[in-house]
Amino acid sequence: MSMINYASREINCKLVYYGPGLGGKTTNIEYVYNKVQPETRGKLISLATEQERTLFFDFLPVDLGSIRGFKTRFHLYTVPGQVYYNASRRLILKGVDGVVFVADSQPERMDANIASMQNLYENLAEYGYDPATLPLVIQYNKRDIPSAVPVEELRAQLNPDELPDYEAVAISGDGVFDTLKVVSKLVLKTLG
């Protein structure tokens, strides 16, 4: 949940990028990090073990305004992609304010997308989060691949609740900020 820092007049919000391994979570975070003004962002931190990696950084967006005189600072995290790192995934979700689920549009990754989405819902339930009320946006990444699964099929498999969703090509930045802006605004609505 959001943390308020009265000394700096900031509300700190946690956004987690979730999804299957090699789906584009890290690419999203790195793209945002490289495009955000250096004076408004913290360091990009990579917590890596032999088999897994989690990225983290925070930034103050300049165009989202303030809430009751407080600036909003967003902390962006990725989770390890493989479901067998579930303990790490669950821990990173603790205190989350919003989630971006990054789905891989490659046909051979559909089962991994579905397993990761089920895993996300299970882990949210462990903390008592309701996906119907938690700001959650789905990003269909790798839309530039010629064999990409049609968006309608991805929606049918991954988004039956009709959550906000966006197409993206994270490596070139297409759709990356659209996704981030929507999840950020949904988080701000919950604070207002």
pLDDT greater at residue 86 or residue 158: 158
Give the percent of the chain with pLDDT over 70.
Answer: 88
Across the strands, what pairs with 139?
102, 166
pLDDT tens-digit series, residues 98-109 = 999 999 999 999
The topology (CATH level 3) of 3-191 is: Rossmann fold (3.40.50)
pLDDT tens-digit series, residues 96-149 = 999 999 999 999 999 999 999 999 999 999 999 998 899 999 999 999 999 999
Token digits of residue 22: 């090699």
Residue 43 to residue 80: CA distance in whole angstroms = 19
Q: Hey, which of 36-40, 80-84, 177-181 has the most confident mean pLDDT?
A: 177-181
In this predicted structure, what is the pLDDT of residue 176?
A: 98
| DSSP codes joined into one string, 98-167 | EEEEEEE-SGGGHHHHHHHHHHHHHHHHHTT--TTTS-EEEEEE-TTSTTPPPHHHHHHHH-TT---EEE
| Predicted TM-score (pTM) of this structure | 0.92
pLDDT tens-digit series, residues 8-40 = 778 889 999 999 988 999 899 989 989 988 888
Domain positions in the chain: 3-191
